[in-house]
C-alpha cells in the first residue's frame, strides 16, 4: 500500500513513517518543505502526481496558547488544509485519515465524551480543529477522524520531557490537578492509524467516521507528571525527587482556556475497529528509557 503522510517530522508523523516502513508499505513522507498543505494548487498537483492508496494527515498547528494570537495560520493548517486534502482524496477516490482533538469539547460533562456529544470548543485551537472536522464531514470523502488527547512521543517537545526537565532543575514546582484526560503515546496513535489504513483497503470496509482514541487510565496532569517523575528517578535520570504541588486551573492561568474534562469514551473504536486504548504508562517508560 502506498501511504502519503503529512506532518512526517512531528510526534505522530515520525512514528507513522517508521512503522509504515516496518510494515513494508511504500511511504511518501511530507513535511512543509516537501508540501505546503495550505496551498491548494500544490496539494492538488502533489497528490495527483503521487496517487497514494491512502492519505494520513498528521500535520497540525498544535501550540494551543500561541494559537490564540496566531489565528490566521492556525486556521490555515488545522482547517483549510484539511479541506484541500479531503477534496483531492475525494477526487482520486482514496480515503483520508485525520487526527483531531479532545479540545473540540468544552469539558463540562461529568462523564467521558462520546463521539456525538455536543461540540463546543473553549479555545481557538479547538475551534480550528473542529472547522477541519466539518470540512472533512462535508467533503464526501471516505474518512476516519481520530480524536486523541494529551499526545507525547519520542520526537519533539511534550509534557513528559518538560516535566523531567523541570524536575532536574527545580526543587519545587506545581502542576494542574483539576483537568482530567487520557495521555496518549504517539507511537500508539501511529499504530492505530496504520491498522485503520490496512482495514480500509478491504473491499467491504464501511466503518468510516469519527472515533475517539486515547490512553488509559484517565489521570490529571499532576498524576501524569508524578508517574513520569517517579519513573525518571527510578532510572537515575534525576538525582532527587522535587516537591510537585497540586494546582487548580485558576492558580495557573494560560492564554488559552483548557477543558476540565478531556476524558473520551473509547467504546466505539474498540468495538468497531478493534483498537485497544493507548498504554500511556508503557509509553512514558519507553520514552524515558531512550532519553
Give per-residue pLDDT as tens, 272-288: 999 999 999 999 999 99
What is the rounded radius of gyration, in angstroms, for the C-alpha atoms of the chain? 19
Residue 220 near residue 178 (C-beta atoms within 8 A): yes
Q: Is residue 247 part of a domain?
A: no
> Of all residues in the chain, what percent carry a pLDDT higher than 70?
100
* Residue 113 confidence (pLDDT) above 80: yes
Judged by average pLDDT, the poorest of 83-92, 198-207, 260-269 is: 198-207
Model confidence at 203, pLDDT cuts 50, 70, 90, reads confident
Torsion angle of C-alpha atoms 248, 121, 152, 109, degrees rounded to 10: 60
Catalytic positions are 125
pLDDT of 103 reads: 98
Q: Is residue 163 part of a domain?
A: no
Q: Is residue 239 part of a domain?
A: no
Mean pLDDT of 100-117: 98
**Of 176, 159, 201, 189, which is closest to residue 266 (Cα–Cα)?**
189
The CATH number of residue 139's host domain is 3.40.50.720
Residue that wins the pLDDT comparison between 152 and 290: 152
Query: Cis omega (within 30 of 0) on the bond before 217?
Result: yes
Q: Is residue 246 part of a domain?
A: no
Model confidence at 2, pLDDT cuts 50, 70, 90, reads very high
Mean pLDDT of 66-71: 96
* Residue 136 confidence (pLDDT) above 90: yes
Place of cell 494546582: 247
Q: Is residue 74 part of a domain?
A: yes
Residue 164 near residue 290 (C-beta atoms within 8 A): no
Count of domains forming the chain: 1
The overall average pLDDT reported for the chain is 97
Q: Is residue 84 part of a domain?
A: yes
Q: How many Å apart are CA 49 and CA 173, to the nearest integer? A: 52
Q: Is residue 64 part of a domain?
A: yes
pLDDT of 68 reads: 97
Model confidence at 290, pLDDT cuts 50, 70, 90, reads confident
Model confidence at 46, pLDDT cuts 50, 70, 90, reads very high
* Residue 291 confidence (pLDDT) above 80: no
pLDDT digits (tens, 9 = 90+) for 48-58: 999 999 999 99
Mean pLDDT of 166-176: 97
Grid coordinates representing 248? 487548580
What domain range is 79 assigned to? 2-158+183-215+265-279
Q: Is residue 226 part of a domain?
A: no
Amino acid at each position: 500500500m502506498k501511504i502519503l503522510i503529512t506532518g512526517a517530522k512531528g510526534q505522530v508523523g515520525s512514528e507513522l513513517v517508521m512503522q509504515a516502513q516496518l510494515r513494508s508499505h511504500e511511504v511518501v513522507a511530507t513535511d512543509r518543505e516537501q508540501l505546503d498543505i495550505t496551498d491548494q494548487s500544490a496539494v492538488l498537483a502533489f497528490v495527483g502526481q503521487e496517487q497514494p492508496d491512502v492519505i494520513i494527515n498528521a500535520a497540525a498547528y498544535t501550540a494551543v496558547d500561541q494559537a490564540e494570537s496566531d489565528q490566521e495560520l492556525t486556521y490555515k493548517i488545522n482547517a483549510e488544509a484539511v479541506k484541500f486534502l479531503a477534496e483531492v482524496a475525494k477526487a482520486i477516490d482514496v480515503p483520508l485519515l485525520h487526527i483531531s482533538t479532545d479540545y473540540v469539547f468544552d469539558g463540562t460533562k461529568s462523564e467521558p465524551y462520546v463521539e456525538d456529544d455536543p461540540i463546543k470548543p473553549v479555545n481557538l485551537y479547538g475551534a480550528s480543529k473542529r472547522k477541519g472536522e466539518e470540512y472533512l464531514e462535508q467533503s464526501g470523502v471516505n474518512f476516519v477522524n481520530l480524536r486523541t488527547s494529551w499526545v507525547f512521543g519520542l520526537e519533539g517537545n511534550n509534557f513528559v520531557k518538560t516535566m523531567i526537565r523541570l524536575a532536574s532543575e527545580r526543587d519545587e514546582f506545581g502542576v494542574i490537578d483539576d483537568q482530567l484526560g487520557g495521555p496518549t503515546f504517539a507511537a500508539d496513535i501511529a499504530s492505530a492509524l496504520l491498522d485503520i489504513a490496512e482495514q480500509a483497503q478491504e473491499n467491504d470496509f464501511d466503518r468510516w467516521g469519527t472515533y475517539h482514541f486515547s490512553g488509559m487510565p484517565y489521570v490529571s496532569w499532576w498524576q501524569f507528571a508524578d508517574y513520569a517523575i517517579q519513573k525518571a528517578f527510578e532510572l537515575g535520570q534525576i538525582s532527587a525527587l522535587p516537591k510537585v504541588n497540586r494546582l487548580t486551573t485558576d492558580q495557573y492561568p494560560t492564554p488559552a482556556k483548557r477543558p476540565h474534562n478531556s476524558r473520551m469514551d473509547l467504546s466505539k473504536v474498540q468495538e468497531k475497529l478493534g483498537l485497544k486504548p493507548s498504554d500511556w504508562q508503557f509509553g512514558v517508560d519507553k520514552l524515558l528509557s531512550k532519553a
